[in-house]
C-alpha cells in the first residue's frame, strides 16, 4: 500500500487529495466535480473563505513590508506605488489562491470531511 501524497506536493501541483494524480481544478479557481483519475467526488468540497484569508494575511504582510522599504529607500510619488503594487497584489493573489485552496481541500479530505468516509 502506498503512502498518502504529501500535502505540500498536492497544494503546489493542485492535484486530487486522494490519488495525487488527477487535476483538482477545471478552471482558474473552479474545482472539478470529480477527479478524472480516481473518481473522487469533489463537488462536496467547501474551502469557504479560508484561502482568501490566508492570502490577505500573507500577501498583505509582504506587500506592506516591501512598500515601506520602497518608500524609505526611494520616496517615490504616490502614483508609483499604485502602478507598482497593483499588479503585484493581483498576480500574487491569483498565484497564492490556487495552492492554498488545494491545501485546504486536501486537509478536508485527510480529516474525513470530503468523501473519505465517516470520521472516527
CA dist 71 and 80 (Å) reads 10
**Per-residue confidence of the chain (120 residues) as pLDDT tens digits?**
456 788 899 999 999 999 999 999 999 889 999 999 999 998 878 888 999 999 999 999 999 999 999 999 999 999 999 999 999 999 999 999 999 999 999 998 888 765 555 444
For position 87, what pLDDT does the model report? 98
CA 113, distance to chain mean position in Å, is 18
What is the pTM assigned to this prediction? 0.82
Amino acid at each position: 500500500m502506498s503512502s498518502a501524497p504529501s500535502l505540500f506536493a498536492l497544494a503546489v501541483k493542485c492535484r486530487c487529495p486522494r490519488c495525487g494524480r488527477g487535476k483538482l481544478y477545471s478552471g482558474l479557481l473552479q474545482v472539478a466535480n470529480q477527479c478524472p483519475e480516481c473518481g473522487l467526488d469533489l463537488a462536496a468540497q467547501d474551502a469557504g473563505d479560508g484561502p482568501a484569508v490566508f492570502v490577505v494575511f500573507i500577501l498583505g504582510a509582504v506587500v506592506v513590508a516591501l512598500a515601506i522599504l520602497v518608500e524609505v529607500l526611494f520616496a517615490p510619488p504616490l502614483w508609483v506605488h499604485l502602478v507598482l503594487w497593483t499588479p503585484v497584489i493581483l498576480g500574487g493573489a491569483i498565484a497564492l489562491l490556487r495552492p492554498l485552496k488545494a491545501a485546504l481541500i486536501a486537509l478536508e479530505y485527510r480529516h474525513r470531511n470530503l468523501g473519505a468516509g465517516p470520521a472516527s
